[in-house]
Amino acid sequence: MDKPLFNALLQMGDDSLVLGQRLCEWSGKAPTIEVDLSLSNLALDLIGQATMLLDYAGQVEGEGRDADRLAFHRDAELFRNSLMVEQPNGDFARTVMRHFFFATYASALYEALSKSSDETLAAIAAKAVKELRYHSEYAAEWVVRLGDGTEESHSRMVKALDWHWRFIDDLFEDDADWAELAERGIVPLRATLRGNFGKRVAQVFGEATLEVPGEVWPLTGGRQGRHSEHLSLVLAEMQVLPRAHPAATW
């Protein structure tokens, strides 16, 4: 099996899966019914991406596991998602800030991946990039609206920014497997996406009257399976039904 490719597909698939599950937690609790629908739409896009990426990971592995098997019958330490996506939603400001960071990163990643030498990955990326560009725009509008809104909304966005900023390095980490794939022309080094990411963040924060923070002590390890305790809890909720009834179908 192509282990670097398998691990890379898990990193991307798990990012989408865990963030999709987190967004689903807003269902029925969002500020308005329209926002509720919007967040569910974002979540369903992500879960669709996770299904494609994890199905492909299963094919690469060659042991008969499909996306459902990888999503529902794998323990937390085998997940390769970034730390940012597994954190609790917090308030709406924190959810919106996370989505802005993630979708801006991911849309740049999938844009580059749509030219991958791996045709399956290129096809998945070409579909995902359209969805994620929309996500990035949607979230950026909310960052501006709330950042440049009332005193209350501004202070919540500042708190949200402080919360997420330490997870950015983890989001962009290139581990040894990823670097090997980059050499083979299958993925871009995430580090090469960081410059445009920074420009976009600075531009949106300018409109949102938010200051780009300085350096902070980064929290990393998600890509190697070193997660916060929050991942086990979100997986427990997501996995309980298929584990209790393994043969159940829709």
Partner 1 sequence: MSDWQLWEVFIRTKGGLDHRHAGSIHAADAEMALRHARDTYTRRMEGVSVWVVRSADIVASDPGEAGELFEPAESKIYRHPTFYQLPEAVNHM
Which residues contribute to the site for partner 1 (CB under 8 A)? 31-32, 34-35, 37-38, 41, 138, 141, 145
**Closest CB to partner 1 among residues 32, 249:** 32
Closest C-alpha to 68, from 17, 136, 138, 131? 17
CB of 25 or CB of 141, closer to partner 1: 141
Question: Do residues 216 and 166 lie in contact, with contact meaning Cβ atoms separated by under 8 Å?
Answer: yes
Sequence-distant (6+) residues with CB within 8 A of 32 are: none
* Two structure tokens written together for 66: 């499909």
CB 100 within 8 A of CB 136: yes
Nearest 5°: CA angle at 138, between 133 and 231?
A: 85
**HEC profile of 190-235:** HHHHHHHHHHHHHHHHHHHCCCCCCCCCCCCCHHHCCCCHHHHHHH
To partner 1, the closest distance from the beta carbon of 89 in angstroms equals 18
Quote the least distance from Cβ 38 to partner 1, whole Å. Answer: 4
Sign of the alpha-carbon torsion through 20, 23, 25, 27: negative
Give the integer Cα–Cα distance in Å for 87 and 102: 13
In the complex, what is the shortest distance from the CB of residue 93 to partner 1, in angstroms, rounded to a whole number? 14
Closest approach of partner 1 to the CB of residue 137, in Å? 9
Smallest distance from partner 1 to CB 138, Å: 6
CB closer to partner 1 out of 34 and 119: 34
Q: What is the DSSP string of 138-158?
A: HHHHHHHHHHTS-HHHHHHHH
CB closer to partner 1, 33 vs 248: 33
Residue 38 or 232 with smaller CB distance to partner 1:
38
Least Å distance, CB 51 to partner 1, is 18
Nearest residue to 219 via CA among 69, 101, 83, 91 = 83
Indicate the residue among 134 and 163 with the shorter CB distance to partner 1. Answer: 134
Question: What are 102's two structure tokens?
Answer: 């993630």
Q: Which is nearer to partner 1, 40 or 114 (CB)?
A: 40
Tokens representing residue 111 in the block: 């844009």
**Residue 230 Cβ vs partner 1, minimum distance, rounded to whole Å:** 27
